[in-house]
Amino acid sequence: MNKISNWVKYCLEKIPYRQGRALDLACGKGRHSIFLSNQGYNVLSVDINEISLNLFNGRSIRKKAIDVEDVNNWPLEEKNFYVIVVTNFLNRTIFPLIINSIDTEGYLIYETFSDGHQNIGRPNNPKYILKSKELINLTSGMRLLEYEEIYINNYVNHSFKQRIFTQNV
Ligand SMILES: C[S@@+](CC[C@H](N)C(=O)[O-])C[C@H]1O[C@@H](n2cnc3c(N)ncnc32)[C@H](O)[C@@H]1O
C-alpha cells in the first residue's frame, strides 16, 4: 500500500501550481500525504486511526485524528483546500461537505471501489462500493476533468475502481 496511486500521481501532474493547502482525507499510513508534501503542498492528513497517523511524518504535514463521518467535525478547517485527495474511502453523506471544503478553482482527486468489486474481494458491502458513474453524479456541480472506471489486475492489486478528477468552478 506504500506505493502511491497512479491516478493520484497522474492528476497531480495536471495541476498548474504545486503549492497551497492539500487535504488527504482518510489518509491511512499517509502514502499520498508524503507525496503531496514532497510536491510542495501544505498537507493536512486526517484519519480516525491515530496509530496509522503515527506511522508517518513529512515536511509540511499536519495530522488530525478525527471521525470524518461525524458531520459535526465539518468543516475540518476554517480555510478551504486547493487540493483534496480521497482514496479507498467512501461515505456518501459527507460528499457535499468534502466538495464545500475545496477552494474556487481547487481540485478533487477521488478513487475508490466500484461496481464489480463485490464479486472479487473486500469491501463487498454496497455502502463502500460506487455504482457505475456515481462519482460523476456526486460531483455534478464541479467541472469534470478526467474520469474512468477500471478493472485493475496486477501483482499487487486486483480491484474494480472508479476514479475522478474535478475542479471547483
Ligand atoms: C482502505 S484505508 C485507505 C487509506 C488511504 N487513503 C490509502 O488509500 O492508502 C481507509 C482509511 O479510512 C480510515 N477511516 C475509516 N473510517 C473513517 C472515519 N470515520 N474517519 C476518518 N477516517 C476513517 C481508516 O482508518 C483507514 O485508514
- Sequence length of the chain is 169
DSSP lists the bridge partners of residue 22 as 43, 83
* Residue 1 included in any domain: no
Cell of 36: 503531496
When divided into structural domains, the chain yields a total of: 1
Between the CA of 86 and the centroid of ligand 1 the distance, in Å, is 9
Distances (CA, A) of 168 to 4, 68, 85, 160: 24, 21, 14, 26
Residue 154, pLDDT score: 87
Residue whose CA lies nearest to ligand 1 atom number 26: 28
Residues 6+ apart with CB under 8 A from 57: none
Q: Which atom of ligand 1 is nearest to the CA of 67?
A: 20
Residue 148, pLDDT score: 98
* Residue 108 included in any domain: yes
Per-residue confidence in pLDDT tens, the chain, 169 aa = 479 999 999 999 999 988 999 999 999 999 999 999 999 999 999 999 999 999 999 989 999 999 999 999 999 999 999 999 999 999 999 999 999 999 999 999 999 999 999 999 999 999 999 999 999 999 999 999 999 999 999 888 899 999 999 999 9
Q: Give the CATH number for residue 107.
A: 3.40.50.150
- Which of 7, 47, 94, 98 to mutate to test ligand 1, by most ligand atoms within 8 A of the CB atom? 47
* Residue 9 included in any domain: no
* Residue 50 included in any domain: yes
Residue 159, pLDDT score: 95
Query: Which residues, judged by CB distance below 6 Å to any ligand atom, belong to the binding site of ligand 1?
Result: 1, 26-28, 31, 47-49, 52, 67-69, 87-89
* Residue 65 included in any domain: yes
Overall pTM surpassing 0.95 (yes/no): yes
Which domain range does residue 43 map to?
17-155
